[in-house]
Amino acid sequence: MTTIILIGGGVVAVLLLVIGIVFSFRGERSLVEERLGPYAEDEFDQRIAAAAAESDTSALTDWVNDQVVRSSWGEGIAKNLAQADIKLKPAEYVAAIVILVIVLGGAAYFLGGRSLISLGIGVVVALILPGFYVKRQKGRRLQKFNDQLPDMLNLMVNGLRAGYSTVQAMEAVSKELPPPISTEFRRLVQEMQIGIPMEQALDNLFRRIPSEDLDLIIAAINVQREVGGNLAEILDTISYTIRERVRIKGEIRVLTSQVVYSGRFLAMLPFILGAILWFINRPYMLLFFDDPKICGAIMIGAIILMVSAGYFAMTRVANIEV
């Protein structure tokens, strides 16, 4: 058993070393240049993004990434990575999942008595962890962006009243406020500077940041550009509305956080304990699969159904629309 653990640790260390070397050579790339192609439909913008990508990555990496992005699930991966601000291409994200599946699946297989069930547990965990991390990063980034919207609106209103144009006010936001709102508005301004219409650039922004409050701001800007009016007064009114919504959402989040985290913990607890017991006391867990096997299958199905129903009920209770 000690030898197996040492071998597994060595394999993990070598894989982490290879990944670190690869990413260190790739360096830090601009988010605008890296992801402009998937969201800007104009052919000129796609050529700019392709040229920037060719300078940083190999032809093989670009080819694999193009094949992944062209598929429907690849587009979803690219969108999720952009929303979570994870600086990986879809092909790199898929490669990371494959490496994690091999490492965790192999470790679980050897530590779990070379059982296919142990292998399945490791593979399932490896498939769930990356998606969970991306979803968590998306939620945190979206929440932080929403909390910064009132300050962004105040800065834009002051700039417009001082004589700035809409683009200049957006550029001031990209320079004065902290990330993530400054990062997104910097890309918004850069997209408009290379010739993308403001309406399309704002749609791209909303695609990266699916916020209801941001949608309200974008609608106000688009309507003002079409019919005219005092944009500073419109945004000032919206600022008060959004500030109150942020305050109320914050209070609701504090009051419902216990229910949310309790629901998540209680939903994960049976599966975590089942996996731990499988590796600690496998003969005990194998009782589920003794004859008659139908009884164990019914019990496992009932567990999954009841846990899912309880988690759904608790999330519905904590989900309060504002």
58 shares a domain with 8: yes
SS (H, E, C) 139-189: HHHHHHHHHHHHHHHHHHHHHHHCCCCHHHHHHHHHHHCCCCHHHHHHHHH
Q: Could you give phi then psi for residue 221, rounded to 5 degrees? A: -65, -40
| Of 249, 274, 304, the domain-final residue | 249
For 165, residues 6+ apart whose C-beta sits below 8 A from its C-beta are none
178 shares a domain with 100: no
Alpha helix (H) ranges present in 197-292? 198-208, 212-227, 231-280, 282-285
Segment among 61-75, 143-157, 248-262, 265-279 with least mean pLDDT:
61-75
Q: What is the mean pLDDT of residues 130-151?
A: 89
* Residue 36 DSSP one-character state: H
Instruction: Give residue 290's domain range.
Output: 252-318
The CA-atom distances, in angstroms, between 271 and each of 66, 106, 267, 312 are 37, 20, 8, 17
The CA-atom distances, in angstroms, between 136 and each of 83, 85, 205, 250, 315 are 11, 11, 20, 18, 16
Phi-psi region of 228 (alpha: psi -120 to 50; beta: other; left: phi over 0): left
| Of 191, 226, 249, the domain-final residue | 249
Res 24 pLDDT > 60: no
Cα angle 163, 168, 174 (rounded to 5 degrees) comes to: 135
Contact 93, 84 (CB under 8 A): no
The whole-angstrom separation of Cα 75 and Cα 69 is 5
Q: What is the pLDDT of residues 283-306, one digit of tens each?
A: 888 777 777 778 777 888 888 898
pLDDT of residue 39: 44
| Of 138, 160, 194, the domain-final residue | 138
231 shares a domain with 173: yes
Q: What tokens were used for 286?
A: 């194998």
158 shares a domain with 113: no
Segment among 16-25, 171-180, 277-286, 298-307 with least mean pLDDT:
16-25
Contact 234, 222 (CB under 8 A): no
- Mean pLDDT rounded to a whole number for the chain: 78
CATH number of the CATH domain containing 220: 1.20.81
Q: What is the mean pLDDT of residues 256-263?
A: 80
